[in-house]
Amino acid sequence: MRTAEDEQDGAQSMNDYKNGQNIAAANESSIRTDFKESMTYGEYLHLDQLLNAQGGVSGHHDETLFIIIHQVSELWMKLILHELTSAIDHIGNDDLQPAFKQLARVSKIQSQIIQGWDVLATMTPAEYMEFRGDLGNASGFQSYQYRMIEFALGYKTQHVLKIYEKDDALHQTLLEAFGKPGLYDAAIQKLARSGFHINPDVLNRDVTKVYESDESVREAWKTVYRDVETHWELYQLAEKLVDIEDWLQQWRFRHMKTVERIIGFKQGTGGSSGVNYLKKVLDQYFFPELWEIRTEI
């Protein structure tokens, strides 16, 4: 049985609801609807170009899925490169706090890219084979942004540059990235500036070569981890690097398992060994000492 107090509460609730509706209506009356002389959301984001870039080559229903997953990944990779480049500069200038924010953002972006594989895995082998032949030799192996991320993290192999010789401007961009110090180079230089003894051969190394583990760097990081309070910023930097490598390895693993799920052990469209190649790169390390010291500290 409803009491008078219940009736009053109900009436108050209805009045609150109506007042809220009136306030919302008043606020929405100011919404802009005339854009004849102003920039729209779609124009700002160039949506006409973005949403018309999924034409494909086969007309198969699932090719749209395939294209969008890879395009979204490339957009995320563009942001990763944007953040990594800035973080390297900040570390070089001993300005670590902004670098920490940027490296943390990279890790969050990586988690988004990983989830993309789960969406792509909804495509079955039979569906993919309906249009795989139409792709020719186009392959994710040729992603130049992925190569630039590898370069920024210090993994550099000369032979991959040949893939991009078709486009002179792109090839030059990759050559420039290939010749620049990477994120780990910046971190090691920071260790040296912080008073740690670092092998001069490491500090002056040829940055176009793949980085190899060094005893002096390992000892420096061990000291950091054994006295976190004294070396708090370097400790934070180390853990940000570990986060990035950890997420990248998870991305590589999900990539490998998605490829195995869809095409098994077929050769990749770009000529790689496919799953076998993807399994091999799981053994690559970007920041080896940061993993090695975990057994020793």
82 is in an annotated binding site: no
Q: Domain extents for the chain?
A: 47-295
Given a contact cutoff of 8 angstroms between Cβ atoms, the answer to whether 286 and 184 are in contact is yes
171 is in an annotated binding site: no
Round to whole Å and give the CA distance between 153 and 211.
10
Half-sphere exposure of 264 (CA within 13 A, CB side): 4
DSSP for residue 39: -
Contacts of 126 (CB under 8 A, 6+ apart): none
pLDDT digit string (tens) for the chain, length 297 residues: 556 565 566 556 656 666 656 655 556 778 888 888 899 999 999 999 999 999 999 999 999 999 999 999 999 999 999 999 999 999 999 999 999 999 999 999 999 999 999 999 999 999 999 999 999 888 888 999 999 999 999 999 889 999 999 999 999 999 999 999 999 999 999 999 999 999 999 999 999 999 999 999 999 999 999 999 999 999 999 999 999 999 999 999 999 999 999 989 888 777 777 888 888 888 889 999 999 999 999
198 is in an annotated binding site: no
Round to whole Å and give the CA distance between 35 and 121.
41
269 is in an annotated binding site: yes
Q: Would you state the CATH architecture of domain 47-295?
A: Up-down Bundle (1.20)
Question: Distances from the Cα of 156 to the Cαs of 141, 209, 211, 292, in angstroms?
Answer: 15, 6, 9, 21
Q: Which residue's structure tokens are 């902004």?
A: 98
Angle at 25 between CA 22 and CA 26, to 5 degrees: 85
DSSP for residue 147: H
297 is in an annotated binding site: no
231 is in an annotated binding site: no
23 is in an annotated binding site: no
Helix boundaries (H) for the chain: 4-28, 41-44, 47-50, 63-92, 96-120, 125-129, 144-153, 168-178, 183-193, 200-203, 215-226, 232-263, 275-281, 288-292
pLDDT at 266: 86
Round to whole Å and give the CA distance between 295 and 288.
12
| Dihedral sign, Cα of residue 271, residue 273, residue 275, residue 278 | negative
DSSP 69-105: HHHHHHHHHHHHHHHHHHHHHHHHTT-HHHHHHHHHH
Q: Which residue's structure tokens are 């729209």?
A: 40
Token readout for 96 is 């670590």
| Residue 244: CB atoms within 10 Å | 23
255 is in an annotated binding site: yes
| Residue 6, φ and ψ in degrees, nearest 5 | -60, -40
pLDDT at 10: 59
Closest CA to 244 of 96, 147, 72, 102: 102
Given a contact cutoff of 8 angstroms between Cβ atoms, the answer to whether 237 and 100 are in contact is yes
Closest CA to 140 of 50, 285, 268: 268
2 is in an annotated binding site: no
